[in-house]
């Protein structure tokens, strides 16, 4: 069960409101790299967690923190929208700065939300929940979470570079820090479960006779005019410790030419296909 | 530039067509765990690859392989739809098996595609390209790719368990094998670039003074009635080797109570808010 | 800031797991009538609340409760998926009940989530955040909230009728009860702010000279072959107390015939349009 | 059956075309507050109307009017796009006003529609029909309709404030007026059906023994550090006249700790979860 | 301006209600081949029509007819849902036919719409307006319309084959007929404007020096192991009468190897990319 | 099976990078008129092709070419983003040109992709695969393909007009040329199969007794105040050679007034509807 206390997790200060930066901040709320995504992803993973219950606790605790991130970011968006222009009066239209703000901000911050945050990204596209990755496999889920936090920290760093507002930089430096921790905590679960060697291939419970293992450890070079790019993936032991990596150059098709024959009567095709 | 040869990468055989399994196979084509996603994800990452060009080659080569996976899966869907019922004639309606097939298959396999594959998942929801993760950061992208392949192998294993068709099991065992390789090749890039210690936190180029590092290494326990779940993430050196993990129990808010004051005149609020 | 305690807001018991009912329950999580929607809607309204802060408190408190509803519904879905069939073995395929379950359940409950809840509706369509209505106008928002709770209680009542599982009926009777309260609490805000007479038309802050009031109080009967349906909306004082309702039968167009003339050179039209 | 006459319902005049305002006007066509939504919502409610047929007539008549609103708004968008820049010639690029227009307008008004209206909102996001709320319950539907019209009038008022074009202000004052009527006509249906007291809780046909009525009339205060916000919803008779409102402070969970146990064999989880 | 008369354009009769067929019929309402699509596509094309006004009249007249098709199809869906099961009572659960209906119908027809039509396709996916093709180019638009009607008639024919209900077959035979007319009327516009020879390439207003015409008339054979498929497109005069078709076998890339070099400082990449 | 060679199909040169043009170019990658759409549409049509195999070869060969178009367009976007502003430093904010760029470019080109292409359109809306039209009917599919290429050439022509960059004009003139060929090659298939007379109505395999042919050849004039627009579609032989076109003026409804009666008990309606 959830509870709420009335103050924000972190102080939000906007020294100089900027409606165009408000639009950009939306990416951190409603973008695929944003906080709604991680809050909901960890929440749904927690609800489907099987095995040791401590991982469910880890997930729900962090989901709860991410909800608090949405909350302070939402406040930051609203503060950046203070004083945004509500009209295109002729005087304003002659001022190129006002013009650029009106053109560059999200018009729905005026028209739809009344100068506050929305669950959309920086293009105004609403977040959709197909991005909640929760497979029921803890290995796949921990990688998905580390990915989400990596994307999140990349975004927060770019937003930090974008603004020169002291308050916003301070808030973003906190987000950058928490994303540092979260990246590592999910990868730490994999380490605790035996590291990559024991975890891979995910799922590690797939019986070996379900896998055509002769195809499991070569890099397939589909490039017609270049040798395979060489690296850790082309030689040496595989990361799961079960085989050696190799390369298959200029692969030939192993299958048949696909042909479906005539269309069936009554299937809605043209006569000429039948 | 792309080229095509006329045979499939892998042989597709369906011993006993099953329209309900055709619906399930769609998840491997148009699901978030599916082949359109990885083909397009690696393709867009390749187009945005900066730094050593060999990683671009690695990405585009694998994107090309994934296109071939779409192709043989598409053929498998069509073969599973051979003989699917095209009508609800009264005789059929009394046969519970025919009824169950008609109810359980994707009706659009009859109505929209004429008994062939579609770029949708097993619920009939079309794939959308918001799932193409390509950040321009090679660390974030490699994690995203390993995630996609982990999800893909989880899915292929579940499909393998679902069917008892020998041909389908054979094809899926090939997919399971290639997903094994792909999971590892992306993680091998991270290993080649110095492993987690050098790569984390992603992006590793964020200047340290952009980060409130006092918040970077503690687990925040937002659970009111439980201690923090203990594990690799609560003590010991951080995965990036820069600090020690710790725990912050029962955290208090550090910010203000958010209050936006009165609504502005002309902003479309109710009078009582002004 | 949010916090969490480890038990569910309400006891969840499933006497006889039913994967088809699990699919239906998803509507209460990820449907437009569901709990993600109300949790997020009240949360975003709270973040944009202007005027008396007590309404923000009301909103955030109820958002927090709705998060707890997601949580116990998610558990109910997982419990209904206990024992769901993981394969289409031939023996099973001959059993029409197993067949009907396999056809009637959401295949992604097996393939994608590993037998747990997802943020999707009963068709498997992911929830998308365009449904979070938060206008910054407290009147519009309270109506939106009452609407959401009305839809929610309609849904919960239909789910109650659908199941004959005692545990599920008990849980749904709790949801029905909370939706009763929530419907009324949002309408109570309107009553507290002076009721419909003072609140309408929303926004009540629009200056009267922005409105062509001669068009504000008649019902327009666009039906060619019927008189206007008579009722409270065709005569008597308007709900805002400012005028009398009337009817305009067989309305004639008041505008011009729209004509855009020739296409511009360089605009990509056909020559014949220029 | 529908019919059409060649003139617009209301005169459209644009004194000074403005492509950025054209983008904003799109919200009134393809936004969730827009005319496609209400036209289609009333249309689908009419098609599902059960009970007294006069409500079906009311719905279809107003759906028909809203189609005419789409039509004149579409014309207004096209007129605002007259003269929009079709190129980024170097001369133009130096003019900050042209630049701001090019950056601030919807590029698809040039690239995709050839200077005319599209069924998208002011962010260019296409309208999607998941927003058509039609539950088959007249109470829920009337609230949904009043909500839609409240949102519509908020939007029209904001657009009115945004423009200083006399023609556009005139057209918007008509829209504001019709939204005034439509808000009231839907709420008038509820009044005619006995008002809130008889209509609530929606659905009013849910048998009382389907509801855990001991949970139906208290406000749940999930705030840890504040008392419940006091108001019409915390004391006095409930709006349905059946009980007294009360408050439950600092609620404790009533349910169990959710735990799903081990993952099943063959379910695609990691070995460590089994 | 639109008007409505109270009867349906065509008689709807359902001899034997079938909730699974109701689900399938939804494709004709809310599918990409359905009536909402054509109604709205012709409507938006009409609003953007430039050149001879008679084409605008043609478009709006047919848009109006399509609205009437939505209306009678919506009624057909509701009639097919008469008597649909509202519960999973244990007796019912043992009856495989009831089970198959419950599994095979759209659960939202019960849960969300109360046994009436919805603006969704046969998978329950809502129609989205990105499918409204209206380019402002009459040639492109007429092809798009003929495409939509071809898809529509394919769908109607498949639905006709699917059902054995006399009333439904009668209604669908009317739809098939109207789609016959509509396919031809749009292609007739192209014929009237001079046929393919004058209309192609679309847009026919693109100045010839904007086109690298040496690349305009050869078929590019990207197949590595097969000659180009021969046909009308590989030899003989081009359809626009301007050149001869030819074939380019085994094409070589004409461009450079793409390389983006190092990532910029401050762009959020990994250090190793800089 | 697919293969790749390392150079681009066509040379890409950007003389003067322009981030706003990068945004516009996205329409040609991820728009409904763009290259992902045609690549995937031809690919899925190929996978479902029934009848003469040469059409499958034609489709897959062209799908492969379109993949190469995505590739060079993606490179063009990245090159246009070279030097895009990564911050809103105060100096910059005063420069209206920088301001206009920041407001007019897609912010996700900085925040999400790190200055490279994305699978989105010029509004930043991700491409979704519902736009892949592949019906299994070769007539419908060829029209859909010609439509897609017509839209594509309209778009490419508009982009050509928009830019004054010599490199971009050169690349677009190649795209314009290839779209010329592709429009014609799909229509040439229809010609080869007997032209419109033999192909129409699509599907030409629908038995005549499935069609109410008395409704197949008249134009329905739903306009109340105007005669039917006269043209090729109102008189003369129909395009399929089977009948004469005619007009039906002022059509009367042929169906009943739709009425659904009372709502069922237990269906979630209001009492007043029962």
Cβ E187 vs Cβ E146: under 8 Å: yes
The predicted pLDDT at position C101 comes to 85
Cα(B157)–Cα(A125) distance, integer angstroms: 34
Q: What are phi and psi of D4, to 5 degrees?
A: -140, 140
Interface-testing mutation among E111, E125, E201, E204, with chain C (most C C-beta atoms within 10 A): E111
From residue B51, alpha-carbon distances to A156, E21, E270, F8 in Å are: 22, 56, 9, 19
Tell me which residues of chain F have a pLDDT lower than 70. Answer: 90-94
Q: How far is Cα of residue C218 from the mean position of the Cα atoms in its chain?
A: 29
Q: Can you tell me the distance from the alpha carbon of B87 to that of B107, in angstroms, rounded to the nearest whole number? A: 11
Of C87, C126, C136, the CB nearest to B267: C136
Q: How far is D113 from chain B (nearest CA, A)?
A: 22
> Which pLDDT belongs to residue E96?
74
Interchain proximity C4–B222, CB inside 8 Å: yes
**Residue E136: predicted pLDDT:** 97
Identify the band that residue B166 occupies on the pLDDT scale cut at 50, 70 and 90. Answer: very high
Q: If you measure CA to CA, which chain F residue comes closest to C224? A: F224
For the record, the structure tokens of A240 come out as: 């799961």
Q: What is the mean pLDDT of residues C23-44?
A: 98
CA distance B84 to B73: 18
Whether the pLDDT of residue C253 is over 90: the answer is yes
Pairwise pLDDT comparison (D89 vs C236), residue with the higher score: C236
Take residue F204 and report the two structure tokens written for it. Answer: 């030409």
What is the DSSP annotation of chain A?
Answer: -EEE-SS-SS----SS--HHHHHHHHHHHHSTTSHHHHHHHHHHHHHT--S-HHHHHHHHHHHHHHHHHHHHHHHHHHHHTTT------HHHHH-HHHHHHHHHS-THHHHTTSSS--SB-TTSPBPBGGG----S-HHHHHHHHHHHHHHHHHHHHHHHHH---HHHHHHHHHHHHHHHHHHHHHHHHHHHTTHHHHHPSSSTTS-GGGS-GGGSSEEEE-BSSSPPPPSTTTSSB-TTSSSB-EEEESPPP-SPPP---SPPTTSS--GGG-
Find where tokens 């089977």 sit.
F242
Residues in chain E closer than 8 A to A268 (CB atoms) = 154-155, 157-158, 161
Q: Which residues of D touch E133 (CB under 8 A)?
A: none
Rg (CA), chain E: 25
The ranges of chain A with pLDDT < 70 are 90-94
Chain D residue with the nearest C-alpha to that of A100: D100
**Chain D residue with Cα closest to F255:** D1
Q: If you average pLDDT over residues B6-18, what whole number do you get?
A: 97
Please name the member of A23, A154, A162 whose beta carbon is closest to the beta carbon of F86: A162
Q: Report the neighbours of D using a cutoff of 3 or more CB pairs below 8 angstroms.
A: A, B, C, E, F
Beta bridge partners of B4: E223, F2
Alpha carbon of D108: minimum distance to chain F alpha carbons (Å): 7
What average pLDDT does the segment C2-9 reach?
97
Q: How far apart are CA B264 and CA D27, in angstroms?
A: 21
E236 pLDDT tier (thresholds 50, 70, 90): very high
| Touching chains, E (3+ CB pairs < 8 A) | A, B, C, D, F
Q: How confident is the model at residue C245 (pLDDT cuts 50, 70, 90)?
A: very high
pLDDT tier for residue B171 given thresholds of 50, 70 and 90 = very high
A218-221 vs F2-4, strand pairing mode: unpaired
Helix (H, G, I), strand (E, B) or coil at B261: coil
Give the CA distances from residue E35 to residues B20, C106, D143, E13, E63, in Å, rounded to whole numbers and listed in that order.
Answer: 28, 28, 28, 19, 9
Contacts of A266 in chain E (CB under 8 A): 161
Q: Which residues in chain D touch residue C5, judged by CB atoms under 8 angstroms apart? A: 253
Q: What is the spatial distance between Cα A88 and Cα D160, in angstroms, rounded to a whole number?
A: 10
Query: CB under 8 Å to A49, separation ≥6 — which residues?
Result: A55, A56, A59, A138, D260
CB C103 within 8 A of CB B104: yes
Chain B: nearest CA to F15, how far in angstroms? Answer: 19
For residues E221 and E251, the answer to whether their CB atoms sit within 8 Å is: yes
Check residue D97 and give its pLDDT.
Answer: 75
Mean pLDDT for the stretch of residues B133-137: 98
The number of C-beta contacts closer than 8 angstroms across A and E is 14
Q: Cβ–Cβ contacts within 10 Å for residue D249, how many?
A: 13
**Inter-chain contact F107–A273, Cβ cutoff 8 Å?**
no
Taking only the tens place, the pLDDT of each residue in C156-177 is: 999 999 999 999 999 999 999 9
Nearest Cα to Cα of residue E123 among A269, F2, F214, B124: B124
CB pair distance less than 8 Å for F6 and A223: yes
Q: Is B69 annotated as a binding residue?
A: yes
**C270 φ, ψ (degrees, to nearest 5):** -75, 155
The three-state (H, E, C) secondary structure of E164-231, written as one string: CCHHHHHHHHHHHHHHHHHHHHHHHHHHHCCHHHHHCCCCCCCCHHHCCHHHCCEEEECECCCCCCCC
Helix or strand or coil: residue C21?
Answer: helix
Mean of pLDDT over chain C? 96
pLDDT of residue A92: 62
Nearest to F64 among B3, B74, B130 (CB): B3
Among C47, C60, C75, beta carbon nearest to A47: C75
User: Which of C111, C114, C140 to probe by mutation at the B interface, max B CB count within 10 Å?
Assistant: C111
Chain D residues close to B157, C-beta within 8 Å:
268
Tokens at E115, concatenated: 């046994």
Residue E33 pLDDT: 98
- Put simply, the answer to whether C222 touches E56 (Cβ < 8 Å) is no
Could you tell me if E31 and D28 are in contact, meaning their C-beta atoms sit under 8 angstroms apart?
Answer: no
pLDDT of residue B100: 79
Q: Per the annotation, where are the binding residues of F for Mn(2+)?
A: 35, 66, 69, 149, 182
Which residues in chain E touch residue F64, judged by CB atoms under 8 angstroms apart? 222-223
Find the angle CA(E80)-CA(E81)-CA(E84) to the nearest 5 degrees.
130
Nearest to D72 by CA among D28, D123, D20: D28
Question: φ, ψ for residue E128 (rounded to 5)?
Answer: -125, 145
Question: What SS3 state is found at F244?
Answer: strand
pLDDT at A98: 78
| Contact list, D163 vs chain C (CB under 8 Å) | none
- For residue C99, give both structure tokens: 């067949």
pLDDT tens, E67-106?
Answer: 999 999 999 999 999 999 998 876 666 677 777 788 899 9
Q: What is the spatial distance between Cα F124 and Cα F102, in angstroms, rounded to a whole number?
A: 15
Which of F7, F67, F81, F115 is the best mutation test for B, with the most CBs of B within 10 A? Answer: F67
Q: Which one of B268, B269, B273, B274 would you mutate to disrupt binding with D, by most D Cβ within 10 Å of its Cβ? A: B268
ipTM score = 0.96
| Neighbouring chains to F with at least 3 Cβ pairs closer than 8 Å | A, B, C, D, E
Q: Which residues of chain F neighbour C266 with C-beta distances below 8 Å?
A: 161
Higher pLDDT, C68 or E101: C68
Q: What whole-number distance in Å separates Cα of residue F185 and Cα of residue F179?
A: 10
Would you say residue C90 has pLDDT above 70? no
**Closest chain F C-alpha to E96 CA, distance in angstroms:** 23
Contacts of A161 in chain E (CB under 8 A): 266, 268
Which residues from chain E sit within 8 angstroms of residue B5, using beta carbons? 223-225
pLDDT-derived band at C231, boundaries 50, 70, 90: very high
| Contact predicate E106/E22, CB 8 Å | yes
Which residues in F lie closer than 8 A to residue D206 (C-beta atoms)? 268
Q: pLDDT tens string for chain D (274 positions)? A: 999 999 999 999 999 999 999 999 999 999 999 999 999 999 999 999 999 999 999 999 999 999 999 999 999 999 999 999 998 876 666 677 777 788 899 999 999 999 999 999 999 999 999 999 999 999 999 999 999 999 999 999 999 999 999 999 999 999 999 999 999 999 999 999 999 999 999 999 999 999 999 999 999 999 999 999 999 999 999 999 999 999 999 999 999 999 999 999 999 999 999 9
Q: Is D221 annotated as a binding residue?
A: yes
CA distance to partner chain F, nearest, from residue D196 (Å): 12
CB D101 within 8 A of CB F101: no
Q: How many pairs of residues across A and B have Cβ atoms under 8 Å apart?
A: 346
% of chain C with per-residue pLDDT over 90: 93
A271 vs F206: CA distance, rounded Å: 9
Question: Which residues have a Cβ under 8 Å from the Cβ of A95 and sit 6 or more positions away?
Answer: none
Give C163→chain F minimum CA distance, Å. 12
What pLDDT is recorded for position A101? Answer: 85
Tell me how far apart the alpha carbons of residues F56 and F2 are, in angstroms, rounded to a whole number.
15
Q: What is the pLDDT of residues E139-177, one digit of tens each?
A: 999 999 999 999 999 999 999 999 999 999 999 999 999
Which of D50, D123, D134, D144 would best serve as a mutation to test chain F binding (most F beta carbons within 10 A)? D50
Using a CB-CB cut-off of 8 Å, the residues of chain A touching E268 are: 154-155, 157-158, 161
Per-residue pLDDT of E17-53, as tens digits, reads: 999 999 999 999 999 999 999 999 999 999 999 999 9
Q: How many CB pairs under 8 A join C and E?
A: 143
The answer to whether F124 contacts D120, with C-beta atoms less than 8 Å apart, is no
> Distance from B161 to chain D by nearest Cα, in Å?
7
Q: In this complex, which of C53, C120, C136 lies closest to B259 when CB atoms are compared?
A: C53
β-strand pairing of D2-4 with D218-221: unpaired
Which residue is it, tokens 């760093």?
A157
């Amino acid at each position: 069960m959830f509870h709420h206390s009335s103050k924000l997790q972190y102080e939000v200060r906007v020294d100089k409101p900027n409606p165009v930066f408000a639009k950009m901040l939306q990416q951190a709320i409603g973008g695929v790299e944003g906080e709604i995504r991680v809050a909901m992803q960890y929440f749904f993973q927690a609800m489907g967690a099987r095995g040791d219950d401590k991982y469910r606790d880890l997930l729900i605790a962090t989901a709860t923190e991410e909800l608090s991130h949405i909350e302070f970011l939402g406040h930051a968006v609203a503060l950046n929208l203070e004083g945004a222009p509500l009209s295109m009066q002729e005087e304003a239209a002659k001022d190129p700065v006002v013009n650029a703000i009106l053109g560059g901000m999200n018009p729905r911050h005026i028209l739809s939300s009344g100068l506050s945050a929305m669950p959309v990204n920086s293009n105004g596209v609403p977040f959709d929940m197909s991005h909640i990755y929760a497979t029921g496999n803890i290995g796949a889920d921990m990688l998905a979470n580390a990915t989400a936090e990596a994307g999140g920290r990349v975004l927060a760093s770019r937003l930090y570079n974008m603004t020169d507002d002291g308050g916003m930089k301070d808030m973003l430096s906190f987000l950058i820090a928490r994303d540092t921790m979260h990246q590592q905590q999910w990868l730490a679960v994999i380490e605790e479960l035996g590291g990559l060697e024991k975890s891979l291939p995910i799922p590690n419970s797939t019986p070996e006779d379900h896998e055509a293992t002769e195809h499991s450890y070569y890099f397939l070079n589909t490039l017609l005019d270049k040798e395979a790019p060489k690296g850790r993936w082309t030689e040496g032991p595989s990361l799961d410790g079960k085989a050696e990596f190799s390369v298959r150059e200029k692969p030939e098709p192993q299958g048949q030419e696909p042909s479906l024959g005539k269309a069936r009567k009554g299937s809605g095709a043209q006569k000429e296909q039948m």
